[in-house]
Structure 1
Amino acid sequence: MMKLVIKGIIPPMITPLLENKQLDLVGLKNLLHHLINGGVHGIFILGTTGEGPSLSYAVRKQLITETCKIVNKKVPVLVGITDTSIDGTMEIANHAKKVGADALVVAPPYYFPIAQEEMGDYLESLVPMLPLPFMMYNMPSCTKLHLSIDVVRRAKELGAIGIKDSSGDLTYLYSLIEEFKSDPSFSIIAGTELFLPETILNGGHGSVAGGANFFPRLFVDLYEAAMDQNLEKIKILREKVIMVHRTIYEVGEYSSRHIKGTKAALMAMGICQDHNAEPLDRFTEEQRNRIKTYIAQFNYKNEYNTVQ
């Protein structure tokens, strides 16, 4: 079996939903074609941006099945399996294996605050049951646990193929790169998209960039510029990413605005609808119109909008 390599731009794909909260199959197809045509190196579903924990098991399974079918092995499909119960985690993991996903993504079970030691013990019991390669996911803002380097090392010893770090802590990201640099097959992936150049220039492997949902090519180009160590190009492209942060991500006042803004951007581009899973709701009409204006400005200014 070929060793799975996790690198490059792996969008944390949103889950396109209809008004009745069922999966939007047309939107899903449009979105996956948009991402693959944009040159992404993998697809990560059922993460935070994908509202994984808010979806029913039926919708999660349907999303995994349809995504694997549409992607059809063009790029690896990574599936978030984090749940409050180990049975729920395994149900999604086994379904992912059955329908052809490539890897699983494991974050700490949320709700109960757990200690680092308990997380390590949890991995000891979970990992032997996992049917696919897995990577770790550090998301302290949602799980109450900022994975220690020790726990990540333990995960690697158990067979983890990498870690996605969404802590937003650049020092921690650097220490991960430093700790595991002797094994280039262990992927260090930044969850904070603005850290992409630093991640690559310091020896990391890529980014799970939320903005790649709507502008995949922008992030792929930034990744390639970093791989080429083209500092001039990095500077120009990073300005565009900062522009996304100052516009699309700044509509709305709650922290959920990143997910809502991403969905509204995709709707403005005609890719899918912008319905969210409860407890989140879509933007107001006024907010959606602001997003529409921003998307139009980007389309006017650069070539990153692949949808006409």
Structure 2
Amino acid sequence: MSGTRFHGVIPPMLTAFKEDGTFDWEGNEKLIDFLIGSRVHGIFILGSMGEFSRLDAQERKSFSEFAAKYINGRVPLLVGTGSCNTREAIDLTRHAKDVGADGVLVVTPYYWGLTEENLYDYFAAIAQAVDIPVLIYHFPALTGQQMSPQLVKRLATDFANIVGIKASVDSITYVRQLILEVKAVKPEFSVLVGFDDHLFNTLAMGGDGAIPGTANFYPEVTVGLYESFVKGNPAESLKWHRTLLPLLEVYALDNPPIGVIKEACKQRGVGIESFVRQSAGSLNEERKKQVSRILQKVKEATAVSRQ
């Protein structure tokens, strides 16, 4: 794991907005400072949790410029640059490099189903257009695209700057295949999971970390899990894993769960409001109370884990 460039807990950072839908720059600064102060191993902006699909290309560029300048090398910065339009993805990727990002996470195109050859051509075009590190963002539940481990292996072998994957899949078999097949030909390839509850078993199989949504508001749980594991204390890591499990109830409170994650940040005092861009929605009072109950449950479990 230590040989990979991107590893550990890399939160898919929320994008803080004001009530009128404009960027809340002060709130975003507070969130970044909170995450870095919690010892995360990087920050990923403009992913699904960052509401990239509700931003236009210029807004994505503006946010990338802000984040790169404010983070200022304190932790590695990954920028989401994927698009259904390959030319736009290349343009956003070049811009991310220009502003100083450490790498990009490129989601597969969505809407139309693509053959594996067309998916290969998409990532090949981006990798050939830039020399910045590229990570594949595989989220079949949202994109409808399937990328076999063999396709990922082919891309990682053919392009030196394709250096990792975020696998937002609920199949640990798929993650195992990535680790066994891709790392066999490219040991430094980063295998990161998007589902929080797969962090522990991914590490146990030789993977590299996670890009977990709950790290926006409770990063100490996944950071504690990762750090104890790599320090050779799997028993302590397992305690953190069990502490994490009730936290995942937040994902069942709304779809998409972005407003829930923002409300959890607000209730933890991170310094952002829970405004979301439509067509995502805000939470009613009962849902906010449910968030409070989950946070209290995890607070109690975290106290036990630290004993």
Please, what TM-score do these two structures have when normalized by structure 1?
Answer: 0.91
Which consecutive aligned stretches of 4+ in structure 1 deviate over 3 angstroms post-superposition? Answer: 296-304
Matched, 1:158 2:174: no
Does the Cα contact within 8 Å between 1:12 and 1:44 map onto a contact in 2? yes
Aligned length: 298
Out of 197, 222, 225, the residue aligned to residue 225 of structure 2 is: 222
For 1:208-234, what per-residue CA distance to the aligned partner results, in whole angstroms no more than 9, with x for missing partners?
A: 111111111211110122223433212
For 1:8-49, what per-residue CA distance to the aligned partner results, in whole angstroms no more than 9, with x for missing partners?
A: 000111111111111111110110011001111111111111
Matched, 1:169 2:171: yes
Matched, 1:273 2:276: no
Match of 1:233 in 2: 236
Amino acid at match of 1:158: F
Inter-CA distance 56–235: structure 2 relative to 1 (3 Å threshold): same
Match of 1:55 in 2: 55
C-alpha RMSD of the superposition: 1.9
Does the Cα contact within 8 Å between 1:68 and 1:77 map onto a contact in 2? yes
Inter-CA distance 275–113: structure 2 relative to 1 (3 Å threshold): same
Does the Cα contact within 8 Å between 2:82 and 2:105 map onto a contact in 1? yes
Work out the CA distance in 1 between the residues paired with 2:296 and 2:201: 29
Q: CA deviation at 1:289?
A: 3.2
Q: CA deviation at 1:123?
A: 2.3
Structure 2 unaligned segments of length 5 or more: list them: none
For 1:233-269, what per-residue CA distance to the aligned partner results, in whole angstroms no more than 9, with x for missing partners?
A: 12321121111013x33334xx313x22111101112
Work out the CA distance in 1 between the residues paired with 2:303 and 2:65: 32
Match of 2:66 in 1: 66
Partner SS for 1:233: helix
Match of 1:22 in 2: 22
Work out the CA distance in 1 between the residues paired with 2:136 and 2:256: 23
> What percentage of residue pairs aligned between the two structures are identical?
30
Work out the CA distance in 2 between the residues paired with 1:299 and 1:65: 35
Inter-CA distance 195–103: structure 2 relative to 1 (3 Å threshold): same
Q: CA deviation at 1:54?
A: 1.4
Tell which deviates more after alignment, 82-91 or 14-23: 82-91
Residues 116-195 of structure 1: pairs in structure 2 closer than 5 A: 116-156=116-156, 157-159=158-160, 160-182=162-184, 183-195=186-198
Does the Cα contact within 8 Å between 1:22 and 1:59 map onto a contact in 2? no
Please, what TM-score do these two structures have when normalized by structure 2?
Answer: 0.91
Structure 1 unaligned segments of length 5 or more: list them: none
Tell which deviates more after alignment, 279-288 or 197-206: 279-288
Partner SS for 2:165: strand
Does the Cα contact within 8 Å between 2:28 and 2:272 map onto a contact in 1? yes
Work out the CA distance in 2 between the residues paired with 1:139 and 1:301: 30
Inter-CA distance 91–20: structure 2 relative to 1 (3 Å threshold): farther
Residues 20-99 of structure 1: pairs in structure 2 closer than 5 A: 20-99=20-99
Amino acid at match of 2:180: E
Match of 2:291 in 1: 291
For 1:119-149, what per-residue CA distance to the aligned partner results, in whole angstroms no more than 9, with x for missing partners?
A: 1122232321125110111110111112112
Amino acid at match of 1:65: E
